[in-house]
Amino acid sequence: MGTLIQAPTAPHTGTVIFLHGLGQSNETWAHGAVKALAKELPHILWLLPQSPQNPVALNQGERRPSWFDIALTTLHKLGGVASLSGSIPIAVREQMVHAAQVLPILWCHGDTDNKIPLSLGKDAVQFIRSKLRIKEPRLQFNEYADLGHTVNDEELDDLVAWLRGVLP
């Protein structure tokens, strides 16, 4: 499966590359949250690539769709990075020293996430603050009460507001 595209319905001014989570597919996001986000941000082109099947240590080496933390390790110029219920594995942290200190980051996490506990999200944010030296207001951390490993309207509203601030 290749990259899914949600074309803008207004004059194109920005692009979001939306990377799905471990074991997920781009189709799940394309038909759900991204469709709703595209209505709120009609000028944005949405690219949803499907990750390759990679061996995942967390799953005893089982091959699953996964990205290996490319957002904060890429040398490409990015306009920002948003994480919805994510973490930063210790094994990849050394590769992140090139992250620009001016890079806007939105980190969202539910307090009842049983797949990636809130403590791992908070640890990632602390790493970004202390080691990458990206601090508020460039770094925004949002915690959501009673939210598991999923998204809700409040989180999507926060993502839309953040994207409006970082995209043309």
- pLDDT above 60 (res 13): yes
Q: How far apart are CA 124 and CA 82, in angstroms?
A: 13
| CA gap 51, 69 in Å, rounded | 12
Domain with CATH 3.40.50.1820 in the chain: 70-167
Structure tokens at 20: 């799905």
pLDDT in tens, 104-113: 999 999 999 9
Q: Which of 139, 87, 90, 88 is nearest to 118 (CA)?
A: 87
Of the candidates 84, 43, 81, the residue with the CA atom closest to the CA atom of residue 168: 43
pLDDT band at 44; cut points 50, 70, 90:
very high
The predicted model gives 71-99 an average pLDDT of 78
Amino acid 66: pLDDT = 61
* Mean pLDDT to the nearest integer, 4-24: 89
The whole-angstrom separation of Cα 73 and Cα 59 is 22
- CA dist., res. 34 & res. 48, Å (int): 9
pLDDT in tens, 139-160: 999 999 999 999 999 999 999 9
CATH architecture of 70-167: 3-Layer(aba) Sandwich (3.40)
How much of the chain exceeds pLDDT 90, in percent? 53
Query: Is the per-residue pLDDT at 58 higher than 70?
Result: no
- Bridging pattern class, strands 44-48 and 4-6: antiparallel
| Rounded Cα distance, 29 and 37, in Å | 10
Q: How far is the C-alpha of 152 from the C-alpha of 140, rounded, in Å?
A: 18
Give the mean model confidence (pLDDT) for residues 84-100: 79
Q: Please, which pLDDT band fits residue 55 given cuts at 50, 70 and 90?
A: low
Tokens encoding 145: 């009460």
Question: Is residue 68's pLDDT more than 60?
Answer: no
Vertex 116 angle, CA 112 and 120, to 5°: 100
- Determine the 3-state secondary structure of 4 from DSSP: strand
Residue with tokens 């803008």: 8
Q: 32 or 12, which is more confident?
A: 12
Place of tokens 């939105």: 106
